[in-house]
Amino acid sequence: MKVVYSCVAGLDVHKRTVVATRMRVTEEQRVDWETRTFGTTTPELLALHDWLQMWPVSHVAMESTGDYWKPVYNLLAEDFEVWVVNAQHVKHVPGRKTDVGDAQWLAELMLHGLLKPSFIPPAPQQALRDLTRYRLSVIQERTRIVNRVQKLLEGANIKLASVVSDVQGVSARAMLAELAQGNTDAEAMAQLARGRLRDKLPELERALTGRVQAHQRFLLSQQLAHIDFLDEQEARLEEQIDQQLTLMSQPPEPPDGADSGSETDAPASPPPSRDWQAAVTLLDTIPGINPRTAVVILAEIGVDMSRFPTANHLARWAGVAPGNQQSGGKRYSGRTTKGNRVLKTTLVQCAHAAARTKGSFLNARYHRIAGRRGKKRALMAVAHSILIAIWHMLTTGEVFHDLGSDYYDQRSHDRKLAYYLRRLEQLVGAPVQLPTVSAPA
């Protein structure tokens, strides 16, 4: 088998240990290797770094096992070409799996160029991704607490959710605060309603009449305080995300010793496709995407689409592309594969919003597929279309051009006209002649 890299290393990474194998091709065209075990603390990983540098190692391969690969990657990426590979692509022969065997197997695959590296974003994008993912966790936790509030109200015979649309709205929140303080006057609490909710005062009085016990008031006060804390955390995260976007959108600093006053040496502003804030504005033109979801999408895929050769590569990486399983000339399950879970979930949420945007192409695509394939498949198809559009927009810098809700009708106008004319003739039982429409002057 052809040797692609002459000196490589394979790492089998665990929580406490790293089994490393360095492998090289000698002048006699013989493969030589050594294996050692290191710890995962920073001094021990630095010892691994020095051990790899004793040989002219050019590439290092390791599996993406949880988060254990990150400390190793942080200390080796500066001096080596580190490849984090998918564990499914490097499975060993069953019955021969050991830590030493896995490290040697990774080194051997790397030696012959049989590995494919995973996408590892640069450090600024990793920071933005950490912030957006933690914000998502805070939002999910807040949703869980709101559901617990609703469960507690049902147990106390309070039917507030049957009258108001949001139990955390301004009016409902004021009523819940009164309940937590021990107020039992339903008429007085109903008077806290604002706006159009005041048209439902009798219904509010009946809904707020219940049997709230002492422990339920205590739990309600704790849950409301928890929601306030999570709202504060989300606001701080929003501020930090904006600062990170501003920092990432700034042009690069000039090198040391460069003449900042020279026109030729002055750093140019990043192109629109590389400006993060401009990319957020660009993605905001897609139906179903707002600035918040645009930041989440960009934090996962970045603004440089050159790392994905085509839009289909990006869709496959995200896990929104149809699967392909064929055997014996037959095509079996076409369900989507596992991909980036955060990106996939966000795209499906955007697809939900886009499917409700009337008069848009994405709305027409959803209804076209939902009728014959189901709502879930239709949402995944819309998410796939959104991601394909994002790849082209970030590549060319163009805004989203909606094809319109009549795109499918106009694409095959004559064929559809002949079909409906034939159906009409079958219903009336006689030939139908369409009137000729003269072209406007």
Residue 62: helix, strand or coil by DSSP? strand
Check if the beta carbon of residue 302 is closer than 8 Å to that of residue 125: yes
**Token reading at 230:** 């999570």
pLDDT band at 440 (very low <50, low <70, confident <90, very high): low
Q: Is the pLDDT of residue 359 over 50?
A: yes
Give one DSSP letter per residue of 310-359, joined into a string. Answer: SHHHHHHHHT-SPP--EETTEE---PPPP--HHHHHHHHHHHHHHHT-TT
Kindly report the backbone phi and psi dihedral angles of residue 437, in degrees, each rounded to the nearest multiple of 5, phi listed first.
Answer: -105, 120
pTM attached to this predicted model:
0.84
**Token reading at 134:** 């933690």
Kindly report the backbone phi and psi dihedral angles of residue 210, in degrees, each rounded to the nearest multiple of 5, phi listed first.
Answer: -155, -165
State the Cα–Cα distance between residues 388 and 405, nearest whole angstrom. Answer: 18
Predicted local distance difference test score (pLDDT) of residue 255: 53
Predicted local distance difference test score (pLDDT) of residue 81: 93
Tokens 């989507």 correspond to: 336
The pLDDT > 90 percentage for the chain reads 62
pLDDT 10s digits, 71-93? 999 999 999 999 999 887 777 66
State the Cα–Cα distance between residues 405 and 287, nearest whole angstrom. Answer: 13
pLDDT band at 261 (very low <50, low <70, confident <90, very high): very low
